[in-house]
Amino acid sequence: MKIKQINGLNGTITVPGDKSISHRAVMLGAIAKGTTHITGFLMGEDCLSTIDCFRKMGVQIDVSDNEVVIHGVGLHGLKRPQEQLYTGNSGTTTRLLCGILAGQDFDVTMTGDASIQKRPMNRVITPLSKMGAKINGVDGNFCPLTLHGADNKLHGINYELPVASAQIKSAVLLAGLYAQGQTTIIEPAPSRDHTERMLRALGVDIKSQGRTIVLNPPKDLTAKNVNVPADISSAAFFLVAGAIIPNSEITIKNVGVNPTRTGVIDVLKAMGADITESNFKNDVEPTCDLTVRTSKLKGTIIGGKVIPRLIDELPVLAVAAAFAEGQTIIKDAHELKVKESNRIAAMVTELNRAGADVKETDDGMIINGGKTLNGAIFETYNDHRIAMSMAVCALGCNGESEILNQDVVSISYPDFFDTLQKLGGV
């Protein structure tokens, strides 16, 4: 995909449904009693992997243009799949499924693509084993994972999370649905709470207070329709593009603004971005429209408790920092090294390729912004967010750039380049 420097992005857009919420709507809909209609579902490859896994366990799922319908089988209605479950590139599918599969009375093997086979799974194996699960993986850590559900009965635990990770938290909560007794989780810092909100909406007794979450296992989950808001992680590419490209004004409709996800807005505003929120709505998840206008950005420090609230947006925030005046320090972001790619190394290499001044640190990067950036051929490391971040960067680089292997965006945002074109950007 070739991208030229652009002199303005303008228009009103909708970005696809939230990836985290789409996954959870399928998973919880599948084990609920009754039928779940999901609108706004993200038809990206990751969420389709989740659908595929549940179909293999006997759940009827109808997919049409405007909705996904899940015919729930109840907490104990999943069937042993005839073949391995394949989770593709999706860490959320793999880790959350571990929680559900740990509670089944059958054995099952699960694996994913080359990236998934390198991502650490001991972070879920450890707490689930403490609950009584029997999970074997390569070196006790990697896919393929075999879950020996038939051999065990789960019991609740009191678990202090070693990292602020919604995937670990959710895996433990989902296993907690099948456990005897209460499950308590203590988070080091707030991570996205979509699982807690959706479980509560489905009638589960789950309470959050400060850093502690307490779940009592239910008899059933009661199906409830889900309207998936637009994904703030996808909106983030346009928030940054609108801020750094001259003569721009972009409105993004109906974006999920759950406070555990809005770190990107807080940081961009602290950098001087002109972002306004309007048309607030409050359902299970809060939403609003976001408008961004061209802004003069300045450097900032991004670290500490905000990191889990913007973990997936750090690559594109690094782009914002390269176009800002002054220094930006990203720290406390070790987790970026174990995402779909090592996103610290990837962004440092690619931004420097354009002529930016970026240094890698142990837990992040230091970006001396405001250098003149020139078009280049950018690699994407088979990582959807690196591809979209470098596409945003390319819009602001002198001359023409090329994004290699651009199709990887279909993991979370199949129409990304079409939307960019609609705004005048390709």
170 binds ligand S3P (CB under 6 A): yes
User: What number of CA atoms fall less than 13 Å from residue 103's CA on the CB side?
Assistant: 23
Closest CA to 426 of 11, 1, 13: 1
63 touches 51 (CB < 8 A): yes
**Binding residue for ligand S3P, selected from 49, 115, 152, 165, defined by CB under 6 A:** 165
Burial class of residue 33, CB neighbours in 10 A (0-12, 13-18, 19+): middle
Candidates 46, 193, 231, 312; catalytic one: 312
Pairwise CA distance, residues 74 & 178, whole Å: 12
| Binding characters for ligand S3P, 315-344, by CB under 6 A (x = yes) | --------------------x---------
92 binds ligand S3P (CB under 6 A): yes
Among 299, 228, 256, residue whose Cα is nearest residue 70: 228
Pick one of 20, 227, 401, 419: the residue that binds ligand S3P (CB under 6 A): 20
Answer yes or no: 274 catalytic: no
CB of 166 to ligand S3P, least distance (A): 4
Which span (47-55, 71-79, 166-174, 249-257) binds ligand S3P, by CB under 6 A? Answer: 166-174
Does the footprint of ligand S3P cover residue 22 (CB under 6 A)?
A: no
Sign of CA dihedral 346, 262, 158, 199: negative
- Burial zone of 11 (CB within 10 Å; 0-12 exposed, 13-18 middle, 19+ buried): middle
Give least dist CB 377 to ligand S3P, A.
27
Q: Cα-atom radius of gyration of the chain, to the nearest Å?
A: 21
Q: ∠ at Cα 160 (157, 162), nearest 5°?
A: 130
- Does the protein bind ligand S3P through residue 46 (CB under 6 A)? no
Closest CA to 196 of 180, 215, 179: 215
Q: Is 294 in the site for ligand S3P (CB under 6 A)?
A: no
Cα Dmax for the chain: 62
Total number of residues that touch ligand S3P (CB under 6 A): 10
Q: What six digits make up the tokens of 251?
A: 């409105």
**Smallest gap from residue 189 Cβ to ligand S3P (A):** 11
197 interacts with ligand S3P by CB under 6 A = no
Residue closer to ligand S3P, measured from CB, 107 or 363: 363
Q: Of 9, 11, 1, nearest to 244 (Cα)? A: 9
Asked if 312 touches ligand S3P (CB under 6 A), the answer is yes
Identify whether the C-beta of residue 237 lies closer than 8 Å to the C-beta of residue 389: yes
Report if residue 166 touches ligand S3P, rule: CB under 6 A: yes
Asked if 192 is part of the footprint of ligand S3P (rule: CB under 6 A), the reply reads yes
> Quick check: 261 binds ligand S3P (CB under 6 A)?
no
Residue 167 lies near ligand S3P (rule: CB under 6 A) = yes
Q: Which stretch binds ligand S3P (CB under 6 A): 33-41, 52-60, 164-172, 317-325?
A: 164-172
Does position 87 bind ligand S3P by CB under 6 A?
no
Q: Which is nearer to ligand S3P, 42 or 311 (CB)?
A: 311
Segment near ligand S3P (CB under 6 A), from 137-145, 159-167, 270-278, 313-321?
A: 159-167
Half-sphere CA count of 330, side-chain side, radius 13 A: 35
Residues catalogued as catalytic: 312
Contacts with ligand S3P by CB under 6 A lie at 20, 92, 165-167, 170, 192, 311-312, 335
